[in-house]
A and B are shown apart, each in its own frame.
Chain A
Amino acid sequence: MANVAHPRARPSTSLSVTLRLVWLRLRRNWPSAIALGLILVMALAALLAAWVAPYDADATDPAAALQVPSLQHWLGTDIYGRDLLSRIIFAGQVDLSVAFGATALALAIGSTIGALSGLYRGWVDLIIMRCVDSVMAFPAFILAMAITAALGNSVTNVLLAIALTQLPTYLRLVRGEILRIREMEYADAARVVGNPAWRIVFVHLLPNCLPPIIVQATLAMGYALLTMAALSFIGLGIRPPQSEWGSMTAEGAQYIVTGEWWLFLFPGLAIVIMVLSFNLIGDALRDFLDPRMRGVR
Chain B
Amino acid sequence: MTAVIDVQDLAVRFSTDHGEVEAVDGATFDVRQGEVLGLVGESGSGKSVTATALLRLIRQPGRIVHGRITFDGKDLCSLGEGELAHIRGAQIAMVFQTPRTALNPLITVGEHVARLYALHAGLSKAESRKRAIDMLRLVGIPEPERRARQYPHQFSGGMCQRVMIAMALATAPRLLIADEPTTGLDVSTAARILDLLRDLGQKTGASILLITHDLGVVATTCHRVAVMHAGQIVEIAPVRALFARPAHPYTRALVRSIPRVDREITMEPIPGSVPSLLNPPPGCRYAGRCPWVEDRCRQGKPGMTGLSADHLVACFAVENGRAAL
- Chain A interface residues toward B at CB < 8 A: 1-5, 7, 24, 296-297
Contact = CB atoms under 8 A, between A and B. Distances in A.
A173 B218 CA distance: 48
B274 A3 contact: yes
A1 B42 CA distance: 10
15 contacts: A1-B43, A1-B44, A2-B43, A2-B44, A3-B43, A3-B44, A3-B274, A4-B273, A5-B273, A7-B276, A24-B17, A296-B16, A296-B17, A297-B16, A297-B17
Secondary structure of the B side of the interface? loop
Contacts of B274: 3-4
Nearest to A28: B17
Contacts, number: 24
| Interchain residue pairs A-B with the least CB separation, the first 9 | A7-B276, A1-B44, A4-B44, A2-B43, A24-B17, A4-B276, A4-B274, A3-B43, A3-B44
B196 interface: no
Interface in B219-276: 273-274, 276
B278 interface: yes
For B17, B21, B42, B274, the residue with the greatest tally of chain A CB atoms inside 10 Å of its CB is B17
Contact of B21 (A1, A2, A5, A24): A1
A37 to B, nearest CB: 22
A73 B142 CA distance: 85
Contacts of A7: 276, 278
Interface string B4-33: 000000000000111001000000000000
**Interface size class, chain B:** 10 to 19
Contacts of B16: 296-297
B277 interface: yes
Contacts of B43: 1-3
B18 A1 contact: no
A7 B44 CA distance: 15
Contacts of A296: 16-18
Contacts of B278: 7
A297 B278 CA distance: 13
A61 B18 CA distance: 59
Nearest to B14: A1
A7 B278 CA distance: 9
Contacts of A24: 17
A4 B280 CA distance: 13
Interface in B142-188: none
Contacts of A297: 16-17
B17 A1 contact: no
A4 B23 CA distance: 13
A1 B18 CA distance: 14
A266 B18 CA distance: 43
Contacts of A5: 273
A267 to B, nearest CB: 41
A9 to B, nearest CB: 13
Nearest to B274: A4
